[in-house]
Amino acid sequence: MTYARQVRKAVLPVAGMGTRFLPATKVVPKEMLPVVDKPVVQYAVEEAKEAGIEQFVFITGRGKHIIADHFDHAYELEHQLKKRAKDIELRGLLEMLPQTGSLGFIRQQEPLGLGHAVWCARHFIGDEPFAVLLPDDLMVGEPGGLAQMVEAYDKVGGGCIVAAEEKPHEEVKSYGVIAPGAKKGNATEVKALVEKPKPSEAPSNLCIIGRYILQPEIFKELDRQERGAGNEIQLTDSMARLIGKMPFHAVETTCARYDCGNKVGFLQANIAVGLQRPDIAPALREALKKLKLCEMD
């Protein structure tokens, strides 16, 4: 069986409750919080498109309908922008619209964990490889994070790929952690995976971050609906059972990754992305100078 088939579909789980961002996320999903002037979820969709993804499915929950609205026409707004000759703004809105029929939404009726969220996409994915992007992990770089993973996927002969980053030892308890094997270029063979281990029991400090390329065999494992760490249905546990059955690698990309699911990561992302934007970088630099950041140490 060959696994290096083209990755055309992506799953974007957005059904989490975002409790770390309350009260902001009481009404507004955390995926709609903006980094500079774009919701974090839009960065993920753009990254996926750049990597060759043609079809997207969002795993949503109650109160997440504005994500669907964001990727649809806003006729009144478009009409007003046209009337006021705001051509650049109008073009921006129209260019971000996905192709008709390329976006789907599936409700995860209960937030039972990331593994359960991905399992909800099984009928949409069918029998082909697919990507998973957690939108609150913002990856900034060129080429984008998923594009670098797809390149590695083709080089190693397919199978499963997770994006990974080395973390300080005391932080591994918040991540899926990799027992690494041989390294070739930016791809490290994955020998085992443990979800949220105690630092003393972690096999390394190489941690999974929010990008995956998976094979449809994962759904057979997820069918078991077994609870893992935090009493949630963990994606890591099912991925671990695929090791040895197909190539499995961790890829360290050259992108900067910001965890926009936590407050400090989100603020850092706004500053980092803002400083890369020619339209606001000079003013932002001046504003940051006024904060006298060095004196705050």
Q: Is 165 exposed, middle or buried (0-12, 13-18, 19+ CB in 10 A)?
A: middle
- For the chain, the C-alpha Rg in angstroms (whole number) is 20
How many residues are recorded in the chain?
Answer: 297
257 within 8 A of 138, measured Cβ to Cβ? yes
Nearer Cβ to ligand UTP (34/181)? 34
Residue 205 CB neighbour total at 10 angstroms = 18
By CB under 6 A, tell whether 229 contacts ligand UTP.
no
Site string for ligand UTP, 44-63 (x = CB under 6 A): ---------------x----
By CB under 6 A, tell whether 20 contacts ligand UTP.
yes
| Closest alpha carbon to 249 in 201, 178, 194, 196 | 178
61 within 8 A of 111, measured Cβ to Cβ? yes
Residue with tokens 């890369």: 276
By CB under 6 A, tell whether 14 contacts ligand UTP.
yes
* Choices 3-11, 109-117, 218-226, 247-255 (CB under 6 A): range interacting with ligand UTP: 109-117
Nearer Cβ to ligand UTP (31/217)? 31
By CB under 6 A, tell whether 104 contacts ligand UTP.
no
By CB under 6 A, tell whether 162 contacts ligand UTP.
no
* Choices 114-122, 144-152, 181-189, 193-201 (CB under 6 A): range interacting with ligand UTP: 114-122
CA distance 285 to 57: 38
CA distance 252 to 142: 14
* Choices 48-56, 112-120, 220-228, 279-287 (CB under 6 A): range interacting with ligand UTP: 112-120
Binding site for ligand UTP (CB under 6 A): 13-20, 59, 108, 111-114, 116-117, 134-136, 261
